[in-house]
């Protein structure tokens, strides 16, 4: 066996690349007012329709507008309260059947974004009024509301205006009742400058003639009832593909990228076919435009009839995109189209229940794409991509439940995280297996049909599925009884399986936490149990219907009906359909390890992935010896040749990059290998290689290629280049788009040679970073990312001092920083506690030849340990 330092250096190589207007003025008549405690609009009135007029001006980056809102009064009131943000309102008129209503006061609560209109007499219940508001605002740069974006063609900058309203930004484009429950019809009119055209949710019957100044009015048909966050419009000079005749699908992009939208035109209609068949409900809008927006903060947005994407989410470049890029594009499109049913047709009542939208669409993006691309095996990948990923976040004491209160815009934005998406999809997948796919599908059809065009809470879903369960005579507990705690409680259980001396198997449950806390709440769930024994394998793994239940009031539960011999293994959670981990007695773990070595095909692929993920995380939590977990890793061999520094691979990468430098116009490096070749070349090269690749980034018009290069530029060991790179990321004239700037920081601090450079830059420039991003949230994410890569107590102490010294200026980022410091210290403690155990295991497994690089299994095991606690660190001795 080689020296410990050999191992650690190899691991260091591995982890190098392994991988978050103020209004310009207001009329004198409108006063700012102090706010009370609630951010919710009162239910005294509701909107029934909007007539919105907008006129964007690209010379001044402003827009003027007018909105007429028809409201129905539900209760007698002398106030109408709606939302406004970042608008300079010049005129407010309220009128009813008897004429204009005399308004006594109009106030703006800037904290809550309220516009409060008061009158001397009450608005009467069961009457309707029109509110007409004239305003001006700025086309923002923050990629929210109605904002400006740009692209270059032949070195000329061209501007466009796009929207992103979810969750609380429609109010930044026009005054409105900006809560999902207030569904209404929308008629959009956009005055469009010469050389541009406009799109919105609905088609336009016809385009009028330009006026004497070249402006053309685009008047769009009125929508059906929909929430404000789903309204959208775009003003651009984009080109389009030919429309798909069946569903009137059209893709739009900048002229020099539109030829790369063909994939979306093929995949989109196939996915709609699937959703229509699955739900039994036809797609409800007369057309679907899909638009690739150059600057787009979200991955994509499901606006009804007008879906918007980052360019990487919609465009596929045959010459540079990888198979992974193609898969990702299909999944993003599938996610957004699923929203046409889950979110648009049936909409959450309030953001507490964001998982009703995003959990379903995360599950169905895999299910739908798996149906049209069977060779990708996406439903198997769902478990690794989604369930295993969220298991880590959901094992923290600070984890939030799926259903949780949200009040402020910041609270609401925080709901759009991995818990909502990945846990939401994972527990819904479990529910599908419990009820059977047929009953689950028919229950969802019932849910969608019952609540079309309306809003729902989780009980509406539970009731629909329960009615279907009863009708189909599915022998499981009532749906709300067993499923609701999975949505209202944070975390998930680990099922402990043990055998008694007489052979009886007994199971218990406890909340799985990576760091045990004696004061943590003792949560329990109704857990569906499935299992397969050696004699039942491999076909037994296909049965995912519950064979038994472990309920919250079960202290422990014997399972006497399982017939198993002393030398037979048993594995629980077939296909990892349940949202829980499983731990066994040591004897059963050893029987499983032996079975995997003798004939791993006898255990299903998903359960093999489950065993490895469970074992490593159980060991991390101190519930399983690392020797058992590491023995499981020997079944899998992963080749990380270049990252391990193997000479042939490194030389081949250097040679390939050198050829690319000689002929930059003809990149012959296969698309799937460019990321590792670029990174290896920059890691072992110098300023010449870095500058060459930076020039390629600036010249590239292909977004997927730009993303690959941005990541590789962080691989250099040159500190001055890394600092220069970070400076470019917050320079609006550098050519790096704001939406991509965060990936620059990630690339630098993910490099062991760059983590201290990133921290030094952050500590000197955090105010500038905050100004560039428009808030401390970006600083918070950077602090968290850096903290996860620190490897010494000195580094952690310096970060802690920085946070304490600047806590006032950091604001909310200070608390996130303290949590990150706590997590970093826990990682250092983990290294201290387990270093010797792991090194001893490596020593035992070595063949004694001294050639550690050749023993790929050993290196793989070490890599898995590094990945296990998501620190991407290396052990220090």
Sorting pLDDT into bands at 50, 70 and 90, what band is 738?
confident
398 φ, ψ to 5°? -85, 0
Give the active site residue among 166, 302, 336, 705: 336
Burial class for 813, CB neighbours closer than 10 Å (0-12, 13-18, 19+): buried
Mean pLDDT of 438-449: 99
Contacts of 461 (CB under 8 A, 6+ apart): 356, 447
Single out the residue of 369, 84, 172 nearest to residue 774, CA to CA.
172
Residue 646 has what pLDDT? 61
Residue 847 has what pLDDT? 53
Q: What percent of the chain has pLDDT over 90?
A: 69
Residue 173 has what pLDDT? 98
pTM: 0.85
Looking at the predicted structure, is the pLDDT value of residue 292 above 60? yes
Sorting pLDDT into bands at 50, 70 and 90, what band is 327?
very high
Residue 20 has what pLDDT? 27
CB 351 within 8 A of CB 415: yes
Mean pLDDT of 52-72: 98
CB 277 within 8 A of CB 382: no
Bigger pLDDT: 568 or 857?
568
Q: Is 339 annotated as a binding residue?
A: yes
What angle do helix axes 738-749 and 777-787 make, rounded to 10 degrees? 20
Mean pLDDT of 728-733: 91
Looking at the predicted structure, is the pLDDT value of residue 856 above 60? no
Mean pLDDT of 810-838: 82
Looking at the predicted structure, is the pLDDT value of residue 689 above 90? yes
Residue 319 has what pLDDT? 76
Task: Write down the residue that tokens 């040159």 correspond to.
Answer: 718
CB 146 within 8 A of CB 96: no
Task: Write the pLDDT tens digit of every residue in 470-493.
Answer: 999 999 999 999 999 999 999 999
Phi-psi region of 573 (alpha: psi -120 to 50; beta: other; left: phi over 0): left
- Report how far apart, in Å, the C-alpha atoms of 564 and of each of 115, 145, 150, 329, 507 are: 69, 62, 66, 46, 15
Contacts of 722 (CB under 8 A, 6+ apart): 714, 716, 748, 751, 753, 754, 757, 758
Sorting pLDDT into bands at 50, 70 and 90, what band is 638?
very low
Residue 849 has what pLDDT? 42
CB 803 within 8 A of CB 817: yes
Distance CA(788)–CA(866), nearest Å, equals: 11
Task: Write the pLDDT tens digit of every residue in 490-527.
Answer: 999 999 999 887 778 999 999 999 887 766 678 999 99
| Beta strands in 487-554, from DSSP E residues, in sequence order | 493-499, 505-511, 527-529, 531-533, 548-550
Residue 9 has what pLDDT? 33
Active site residue 336: yes
Residues facing 455 on adjacent strands: 347
Looking at the predicted structure, is the pLDDT value of residue 782 above 60? yes
Burial class for 110, CB neighbours closer than 10 Å (0-12, 13-18, 19+): middle
Looking at the predicted structure, is the pLDDT value of residue 854 above 90? no
Of 349-363, 548-562, 747-761, 823-837, the one with minimum mean pLDDT is: 823-837
Mean pLDDT of 195-215: 92
Structural element, H or E, at residue 598 = helix 586-599
Looking at the predicted structure, is the pLDDT value of residue 404 above 80? yes
CB 479 within 8 A of CB 487: no
Looking at the predicted structure, is the pLDDT value of residue 635 above 90? no
Looking at the predicted structure, is the pLDDT value of residue 643 above 60? no
Looking at the predicted structure, is the pLDDT value of residue 58 above 50? yes
Residue 829 has what pLDDT? 82
Of 9-13, 168-172, 436-440, 784-788, the one with minimum mean pLDDT is: 9-13
Q: What percent of the chain has pLDDT over 70?
A: 90
Of 584-598, 640-654, 810-824, the one with minimum mean pLDDT is: 640-654
Mean pLDDT of 385-393: 94
Query: What single string gives the DSSP state of each residue in 448-464?
Result: HHHHTTSEE-HHHHHHH
Q: Within 13 A of 34's CA, how many CA atoms are on the CB side?
A: 2
Looking at the predicted structure, is the pLDDT value of residue 26 above 70? no
Sorting pLDDT into bands at 50, 70 and 90, what band is 665?
confident
Looking at the predicted structure, is the pLDDT value of residue 566 above 70? yes
- Report how far apart, in Å, the C-alpha atoms of 113 and of each of 33, 38, 226 are: 11, 12, 21
Q: Is 358 annotated as a binding residue?
A: yes
Q: Is 451 annotated as a binding residue?
A: no
Mean residue pLDDT of the chain comes to: 88
Residue 712 has what pLDDT? 94
Task: Write the pLDDT tens digit of every residue in 603-618.
Answer: 999 999 999 999 999 9
Looking at the predicted structure, is the pLDDT value of residue 218 above 70? yes
Task: Write the pLDDT tens digit of every residue in 259-282.
Answer: 999 889 999 999 999 999 999 999
Sorting pLDDT into bands at 50, 70 and 90, what band is 296?
very high
């Amino acid at each position: 066996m080689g020296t410990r330092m050999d191992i650690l250096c190899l691991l260091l190589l591995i982890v190098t690349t392994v991988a978050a207007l103020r209004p310009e003025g207001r009329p004198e008549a409108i006063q700012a007012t102090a706010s009370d405690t609630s951010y919710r609009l009162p239910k005294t009135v509701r909107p029934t329709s909007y007539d919105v007029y907008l006129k964007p001006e690209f010379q001044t980056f402003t827009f003027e507008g007018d909105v007429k809102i028809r409201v129905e009064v539900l209760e007698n009131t002398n106030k109408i309260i709606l939302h406004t943000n970042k608008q300079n309102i010049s005129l407010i008129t309220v009128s009813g059947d008897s004429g204009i209503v005399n308004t006594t006061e109009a106030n703006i609560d800037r904290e809550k974004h309220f516009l409060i209109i008061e009158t001397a007499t009450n608005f009467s219940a069961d009457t309707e009024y029109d509110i007409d508001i004239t305003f001006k605002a700025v086309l923002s740069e923050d990629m929210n509301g109605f904002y400006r974006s740009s692209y270059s063609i032949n070195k000329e900058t061209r501007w466009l205006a796009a929207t992103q309203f979810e969750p609380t930004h429609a109010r930044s484009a026009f005054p409105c009742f900006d809560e999902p429950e207030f569904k209404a019809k929308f008629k959009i009119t956009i005055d469009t400058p010469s050389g541009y055209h406009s799109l919105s949710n609905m088609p336009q019957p016809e385009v009028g003639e330009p006026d004497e100044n070249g402006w053309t009015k685009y008047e769009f048909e009125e929508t059906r009832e929909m929430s404000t966050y789903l309204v959208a419009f775009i003003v651009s000079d984009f080109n389009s593909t030919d429309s798909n005749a069946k569903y009137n699908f059209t893709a739009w992009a900048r002229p020099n990228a539109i030829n790369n939208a063909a994939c979306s035109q093929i995949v989109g209609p196939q996915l709609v076919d699937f959703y229509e068949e699955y739900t039994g409900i036809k797609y409800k809008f007369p057309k679907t435009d899909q638009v690739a927006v150059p600057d787009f903060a979200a991955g994509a947005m499901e606006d009804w009839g007008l879906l918007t994407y980052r360019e990487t989410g919609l465009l596929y470049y045959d010459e540079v995109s990888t198979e992974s890029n193609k898969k990702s594009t299909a999944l993003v499109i599938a996610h957004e189209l699923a929203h046409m049913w889950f979110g648009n047709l049936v909409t959450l009542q309030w953001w507490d229940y964001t998982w009703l939208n995003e959990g379903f669409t995360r599950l169905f993006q895999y299910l739908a794409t798996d149906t049209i691309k069977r060779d990708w095996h996406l439903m198997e990948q769902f478990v690794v991509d989604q369930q295993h990923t969220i298991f880590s976040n959901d094992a923290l004491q600070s984890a939030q439940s799926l259903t949780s209160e949200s009040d402020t815009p910041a609270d609401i934005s925080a709901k759009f995280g991995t818990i909502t998406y990945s846990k939401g999809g994972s527990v819904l997948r479990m529910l599908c297996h419990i009820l059977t796919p047929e009953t689950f599908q028919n229950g969802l059809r019932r849910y969608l049909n019952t609540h079309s065009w309306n809003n729902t809470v989780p009980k509406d879903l539970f009731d629909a599925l329960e009615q279907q369960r009863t009708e189909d005579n599915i022998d499981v507990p009532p749906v709300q009884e067993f499923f609701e705690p999975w949505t209202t409680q944070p975390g998930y259980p680990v099922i402990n399986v043990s055998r008694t001396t007489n052979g009886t198997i007994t199971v218990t449950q406890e909340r799985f936490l990576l760091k045990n806390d004696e004061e943590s709440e003792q949560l329990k769930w109704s857990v569906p149990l499935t299992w397969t024994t050696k004699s039942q394998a491999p076909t037994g793994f296909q049965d995912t219907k519950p064979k038994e239940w472990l309920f919250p009031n079960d202290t422990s539960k014997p399972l006497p009906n399982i017939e198993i011999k002393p030398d037979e293994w048993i594995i629980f959670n077939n296909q990892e359909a349940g949202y829980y981990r499983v731990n066994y007695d040591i004897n059963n773990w050893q029987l499983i390890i032996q079975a995997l070595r003798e004939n791993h095909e006898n255990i299903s692929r998903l359960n093999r992935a489950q065993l490895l993920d469970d074992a490593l995380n159980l060991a991390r939590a101190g519930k399983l010896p690392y020797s058992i977990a590491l023995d499981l890793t020997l079944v899998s061999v992963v080749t990380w040749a270049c990252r391990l520094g193997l000479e042939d691979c490194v030389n081949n990468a250097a040679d390939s990059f050198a050829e690319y430098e000689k002929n930059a116009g003809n990149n012959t490096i296969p698309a799937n290998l460019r990321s590792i070749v670029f990174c290896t070349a920059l890691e072992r090269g110098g300023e010449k290689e870095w500058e060459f690749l930076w020039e390629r980034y600036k010249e590239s018009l292909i977004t997927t290629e730009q993303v690959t290069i941005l990541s590789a530029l962080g691989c250099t060991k040159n500190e001055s280049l890394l600092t220069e790179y970070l400076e470019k990321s917050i320079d609006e004239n550098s050519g790096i788009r704001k939406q991509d700037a965060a990936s620059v920081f990630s690339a630098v601090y993910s490099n062991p040679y760059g983590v201290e450079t990133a921290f030094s830059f952050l500590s000197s420039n955090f105010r500038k970073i905050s100004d560039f991003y428009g808030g401390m949230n970006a600083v918070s994410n950077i602090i968290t990312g850096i903290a996860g890569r620190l490897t010494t107590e000195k580094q952690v102490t310096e970060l802690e001092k920085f946070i304490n010294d600047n806590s006032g200026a950091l604001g909310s980022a200070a608390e996130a920083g303290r949590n990150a410091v706590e997590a970093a210290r826990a990682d250092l403690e983990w290294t201290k506690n387990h270093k010797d155990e792991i090194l001893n295991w490596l020593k035992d497994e070595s063949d004694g030849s001294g050639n550690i690089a050749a023993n790929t299994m050993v290196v793989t095991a070490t890599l898995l340990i590094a990945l296990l606690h998501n620190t991407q660190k290396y052990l220090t001795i």
